[in-house]
Structure 1
Amino acid sequence: MPNTYASTIGRLWTSYNQRDWEEMKSLLADDFHFFDNATGISCTRDEWLERIIEYWAGALPDSAVSDLQVVSADGVATAVYELSGTNTGYEMLPGLGTTNKRAALRMCSIFQFTESGTISSLEGFYDMLSVIRPLASDDAIRVSLPFEVQSRPRVGVVYPEGSHVALKVA
């Protein structure tokens, strides 16, 4: 069933890209649980869908998931992907305002699945500074952070041949 997990994750993010919230909901177990390590937010299925719709799709109306790579085994899958969009919706962070700037965020999520193949949990990892950095001015970042912020080159992961499934998200 590992390729089924990759397919389900691909369908989840394709549904996000198409703003098909009902399809997203159908892929999640009734007792689905979400935990966001960057913010500490923990919530249920309906709360998570509301947050996705309100926060990511609301602040970045043209946002889309791309560059999806999935590794899975034994009811668990890890997905690495990019969420990018232009901040033309509401302000993402207090005091930042609507910036009309583009942000691209690399994310890693751990998915667990029920025996029937629906997603029972999603634990998300990303660097909150990578959300702030492209949207805020360097001066605003320097004022709000007690340390020097430097741009780092993007480092890619190389997976062993045949160990992952790369999917195209529509």
Structure 2
Amino acid sequence: MMSNTDKVRDLWRAFNQRNWQAVTANLADDFGFYDNTLGFGGIGKQSFADYMQAFISKMSDINIFEIDCIEAEGLVVSIASSQGTSDGEEFLPGLPANGKRSGVRFCVIWRFDNAGRITGCEGFYDMLTYLVELGHTTIAPAHEVLHPEIPPHVAAHYV
């Protein structure tokens, strides 16, 4: 029997392959999702596939990698990285594509029913990093403001 973690990893692999049928294969019919960063969500497999495809329309080469999962009863928390090139539709209203690459770590909490179907998910990611890397805003690097002895761009890796 496939573990819930395996189902989440398969979903991300299917996203990278742009296989929308496989992305939604383990979702319950009444699957619900919510993007906390954008304040947006939906119900149903097709709604989720449309949401995922919207990222492709903004960054055609976006991929998900470094997928770490923590599983507990009825839940999987996935922490992963994404990276892509701003080469499509506006990233956000008023922010046109500019050919720059950006990537962030993000977290999704996946919920499962007793039959092992994914019933919902809730995602969190850092929009400010996207905006800075795509050149839409600037901020002082935190390592300069807070602790100059900490080197920049030290990746956090979760086991």
TM-score, length-scaled by structure 2: 0.86
Equivalent residue runs for 1:53-132 within 5 Å: 53=53, 55-132=54-131
Q: Which residue number corresponds to residue 164 of structure 1?
A: none
Equivalent position of 1:9 in the other structure: 8
Q: 1:15 to 1:39 in 2, by over 3 A?
A: same
User: Out of 105, 125, 141, which is 1:151 matched to?
Assistant: 141
Residues 150 and 48 of structure 1, relative CA distance in 2, 3 Å threshold: farther
Read off the aligned partner of 2:140 and give its amino acid letter.
Answer: Q
Give, as a single letter, the amino acid of the residue that structure 2 aligns with 1:150. Answer: A
> Hey, what does 2:146 align to over in structure 1?
none
Structure 1 residues without counterparts, runs of 5 or longer: 143-148, 160-170
What CA deviation, in whole Å up to 9, does each residue of 1:85-140 have, x standing for no partner?
11111121122211101110210010101222121111001111122111125xxx
- Quote the residue 2:48 is aligned against: 48
Question: In structure 1, what is the Cα distance between the partners aligned to 2:121 and 2:140?
Answer: 30
**2:68/2:158 contact within 8 Å kept:** no
Distance 2:120 2:5 in 1: 15
Using the TM superposition, give the Cα deviation of residue 155 of structure 1 relative to its aligned residue in structure 2, in angstroms: 4.9
- Does the 8 Å contact 1:96/1:136 carry over to 2? no
Gaps of 5+ in 2: 143-151
> CA separation in 2, counterparts of 1:77 and 1:150?
35
Deviations 1:59-81 (A, max 9, x none): 11111100000000101111100
The alpha-carbon distance between structure 1 residues 15 and 136, as it changes in their structure 2 partners (threshold 3 A), is: same
Q: Cα distance, 1:39 vs. partner?
A: 1.3
Give identity over the alignment, percent.
30
- Taking the aligned partners of 1:30 and 1:158, their CA distance within structure 2 comes to 31
CA RMSD of aligned residues (A): 1.7
Residues 49, 151 of structure 1: CA spacing in aligned structure 2 closer, same or farther, 3 A cutoff? farther
Aligned residues: 148
Deviations 1:144-163, CA, capped at 9 Å, x for gaps: xxxxx22344451454xxxx
